[in-house]
Amino acid sequence: MAQESDAEGTMLRWVDILAQLQAGVEGWRYRSFAQAVRELGIMLPPAPWPGDREHWAPGRCFAAATDYAEATDATYVEGFVLVPGLTAWPVFEHAWCLRDGAVANPSLPDGSAALYFGIPLAADYRRSEQARRGTHAVLTTDPQNPWPLVNEDALRHGLPATAVLPRAAAGGTVART
């Protein structure tokens, strides 16, 4: 087994802590967004911004990732990002895109993120859930529109098989337990 990197270890420790902050109840498929990411997500290294679109301001990642996915046909991803410079809370919920197998992050400057861990979502599922929920966030809470909170339907019942892109198609690595 390959040795776990410092970034991967930090990411997994934080996601495991966040998974304990449960939104759901006994019997739900996922008791938290973090648990869903832990089971379905892939780890991805940072990549330089492709420069084909303008960056958005930090704090608007869900809208920025949606806009970028729509404009470029990139894959929208929701999960967590590790930003080591944020010492009090270095791992937080985030959205970004995958383009040609590499991270395209429209809302964080190059060099700020050390690692991404998220669920690549099919465009049809993303669009339908965003419309149904009335927010850019598909699975978690969008700080720009905090109501509704997490996607209770997805946590309670799980994601449809067609909602999550196959790991082989998305690239990245599967997190070790």
pLDDT tens figures, 82-112:
999 877 889 999 999 999 889 999 999 999 9
Q: Are 140 and 78 in contact (CB under 8 A)?
A: yes
Is residue 155 situated within a structural domain?
yes
| Number of folded domains that form the chain | 1
Higher pLDDT, 60 or 146: 60
> Mean pLDDT, to the nearest integer, of 19-46?
90
Is residue 14 situated within a structural domain?
yes
Report which DSSP code applies to 142.
Answer: B
SS3 102: strand
Is residue 156 situated within a structural domain?
yes
Range of the domain at 113: 6-174
Is residue 30 situated within a structural domain?
yes
Is residue 1 situated within a structural domain?
no
Detail the DSSP E strand segments found in 12-138.
42-44, 75-82, 91-99, 102-104, 115-121
Is residue 101 situated within a structural domain?
yes
Tell me the CB-side half-sphere exposure of residue 170, using CA atoms within 13 A. 31
Report which DSSP code applies to 18.
Answer: H
Is residue 47 situated within a structural domain?
yes
pTM: 0.90
pLDDT score recorded for residue 170 = 61
Is residue 167 situated within a structural domain?
yes
